[in-house]
Amino acid sequence: MTITTVSDYRIWVGSMGAYNNGTLLGEWIDAEDASWKVDELVAKWHKANPIVNGDEWFIGDHEGFGDAWPGGENPDLLQLGALAEALEEHGEPFAEFAGNGSYGNDTADNVEAFEEAYQGEWDSMEDFACDHADGCGLLAQMPESIRCYFDHAAYARDLEGGYWTARTASGGVYVYLSL
């Protein structure tokens, strides 16, 4: 018995030769397998279909990548597979981070930067600021009787210069350290 699983990150790979001859020929594949699977597909197309007259391929569609999609019809397949694996491992917070686009195209570098920058999911930036103030000992020297007067909202606004946020599906925020 063979168990087949479908990844959340898939691409539709098509034959450019067939497309240029007026035929749409392609298949959906898991992005994690793209670096080796595309060569396998091209070989299969050559063997089965005489209108495929070259080894050029293109990506005609994708699923699961959202704003993290690197763009174009011919992205680096090793990077694409690594991106799918990183999205699988880190989920929506990484997708938002990668979709920001300011960290380059190398997935390993993006994962490293993400792991350094990601501060977690919070209901609001103010909730993050409260935890940050407690965590760094900002209020430790302040007497308990006056800690309640600390302006967490103002502190949250001050922190926004060193952090950036992305909205979560539930209305909260992902918080990232500005690198």
pLDDT in tens, 82-100: 899 999 999 999 988 888 7
Q: Are 98 and 166 in contact (CB under 8 A)?
A: no
The percentage of the chain sitting over the pLDDT mark of 70, rounded to a whole number, equals 91
Predicted confidence at residue 46, as pLDDT, reads: 81
Tens of pLDDT, residue by residue over 94-129, are 988 888 766 666 888 888 999 999 999 999 999 999
> Where does the chain hold its CATH 1.10.10.1190 domain(s)?
119-177
Tens of pLDDT, residue by residue over 152-167, are 889 999 888 899 999 9
CATH architecture group of domain 119-177: Orthogonal Bundle (1.10)
Instruction: Name the strands in the sheet holding 163-167, side by side, starting at the edge strand that comes first in the sequence.
Output: 118-122, 173-177, 163-167
Positive or negative, the CA dihedral 130, 131, 137, 143 is positive
